[in-house]
């Protein structure tokens, strides 16, 4: 039996992970759950899975959570960054599902790796911000990292058993988001509700906006670079609106392997938790005659410049990917709160990246300082360009 901590249990990945756990109670035991502030959902999860530890960010939310639970509950309720770290490094746990949103996932994930836990990684920002540090630490601590992103899970599944020297190219697929056919002239009028309406995947707010700008695919390029130890110029992005092919790998003999399936995150989650086994999670096999055509097209980086910005950060390396990520988080937050328009998200990021002096071989302190600096500069720009 595997004993789990789920960092970010009330989000989309966390809820789907618990759905998989519920299917296989003889295989998985939940020891720790963490959330930011979604008390109602977390309380329901605690009642159902009876973890040893539950964590929220603020003390006031920890008090509210206790009020939602019966007096006889045995779960220890803690809060703050120290609480997340305690859950990530908990002695009773062997596997940590890293599904916190954004940069907040970096430190707890590093703590899990430092403690020698295997990590099912859904928090791509961990590798975007500090990929070299994370992968070197995982190697030193013999901590396995299994990707939960559907695209990186697909790549992982395609290269199992293959020789690294035979790999020629990684091909990440993208749905193109809800504005794939929309003219850039119409971008200023895009509302958050329209941007959150992803055509094929059910996701949280932040990742939905990143998918709409194609930044999510750019972050995945950086993540793939670190996970699979390849150069940015060996990673391509192709738009595939049907979201049936989750990604592909090309080999030097011209062969291309593709991993396909219904767009349901439980597949990638289950594989990350059960590898090298596969679990019967009751997803149907694709009916290709019903699907009909699968289509592909190149990404339009003129309308969606966030992808180019991410490639630039990936090529430069050092602290620039961290700055890209922090500026993007600030810009997405500003868009969701109607402080800037959709088309200004890449403007914020480009401005911050242009002002940054890159540290090329950063330690964790450099990463955290760059993250803080980028948010400050981004928010200053946003303050002067409010809609």
pLDDT in tens, 51-95: 999 999 999 999 999 999 988 789 999 999 999 999 999 999 999
- At 207 the pLDDT is 87
- At 70 the pLDDT is 87
Q: Are 121 and 144 in contact (CB under 8 A)?
A: no
Instruction: State percent of the chain over pLDDT 90.
Output: 91
Q: What are phi and psi of 33, to 5 degrees?
A: -125, 140
Radius of gyration of the chain (CA): 20
Cα distance between residue 34 and residue 93, in whole Å: 14
- On the question of pLDDT at 387 being above 70, the answer is no
pLDDT in tens, 16-54: 999 999 999 999 999 999 999 899 999 999 999 999 999
Cα distance between residue 294 and residue 196, in whole Å: 24
> What are the structure tokens assigned to 303, written together?
């309308």
Residue range 316-325: mean pLDDT, rounded: 98
- At 337 the pLDDT is 95
Instruction: State percent of the chain over pLDDT 70.
Output: 98
- According to DSSP, residue 88 is labeled H
- On the question of pLDDT at 155 being above 70, the answer is yes
**Residue 202: pLDDT band by 50, 70, 90 thresholds?**
low
Residue range 308-324: mean pLDDT, rounded: 98
CB neighbours (10 Å) of residue 297?
11
- On the question of pLDDT at 203 being above 90, the answer is no
Cα distance between residue 289 and residue 172, in whole Å: 24
Order of strands, sheet of 118-121, starting from the edge strand that comes earlier in the sequence: 76-79, 53-56, 28-34, 2-7, 95-98, 118-121, 145-147
Residue 102: partners with Cβ closer than 8 Å, 6 or more residues away: 123, 125, 206, 325, 329
> For the chain, percent helix, then strand, then coil, each to nearest 5?
50, 15, 35
Q: Any idea what the Cα angle at residue 266 is, between residues 225 and 45, rounded to 5°?
A: 115
pTM comes to 0.93
Strand 167-174 versus strand 245-251 pairing type: antiparallel
Domains in the chain, please, with CATH? 2-147 (3.40.50.720), 317-387 (1.10.1740.10)
């Amino acid at each position: 039996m595997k004993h789990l901590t789920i960092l970010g249990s009330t989000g989309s990945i966390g809820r789907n992970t618990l759905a998989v756990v519920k299917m296989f109670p003889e295989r998985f035991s939940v020891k720790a759950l963490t959330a930011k502030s979604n008390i109602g959902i977390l309380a329901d999860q605690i009642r159902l899975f009876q973890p040893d530890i539950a964590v929220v960010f603020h003390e006031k939310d920890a008090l509210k959570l206790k009020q939602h639970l019966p007096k006889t509950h045995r779960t220890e309720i803690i809060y703050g960054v120290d609480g997340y770290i305690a859950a990530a490094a908990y002695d009773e746990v062997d596997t940590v599902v890293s599904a916190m949103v954004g940069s907040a996932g970096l430190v707890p994930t590093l703590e899990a790796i430092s403690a020698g836990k295997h990590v099912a990684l859904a928090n791509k920002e961990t590798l975007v911000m500090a990929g070299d540090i994370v992968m070197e630490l995982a190697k030193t601590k013999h901590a396995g990292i299994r990707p939960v992103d559907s695209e990186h899970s697909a790549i992982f599944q395609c290269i199992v058993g293959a020789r690294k020297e035979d790999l020629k190219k990684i091909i990440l697929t993208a749905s193109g988001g809800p504005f794939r056919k929309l003219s850039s002239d119409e971008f200023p009028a895009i509302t958050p509700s329209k941007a959150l309406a992803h055509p094929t995947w059910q996701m949280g707010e932040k990742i939905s906006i990143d998918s709409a700008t194609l930044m999510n695919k750019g972050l995945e390029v950086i993540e793939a670079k670190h996970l699979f130890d390849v150069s940015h110029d060996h990673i391509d992005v192709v738009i595939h609106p049907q979201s049936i092919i989750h990604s592909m790998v090309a080999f030097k003999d011209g062969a291309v392997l593709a991993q396909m399936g219904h767009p349901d995150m439980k597949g990638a989650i289950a594989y990350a938790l059960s590898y090298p086994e596969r679990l019967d999670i009751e997803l149907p096999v694709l009916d290709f005659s019903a699907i009909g055509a699968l289509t592909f097209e190149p990404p339009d980086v003129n309308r969606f410049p966030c992808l180019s910005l991410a490639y630039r950060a990936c090529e430069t390396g050092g602290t620039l990917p961290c700055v890209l990520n922090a500026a993007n988080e600030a810009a997405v937050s500003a868009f969701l709160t109607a402080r800037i328009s959709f088309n200004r998200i890449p403007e914020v990021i480009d401005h911050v990246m242009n002002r940054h002096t890159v540290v090329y071989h950063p330690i964790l302190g450099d990463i955290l300082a760059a993250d803080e600096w980028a948010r400050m500069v981004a928010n200053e720009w946003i303050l002067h360009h409010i809609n």
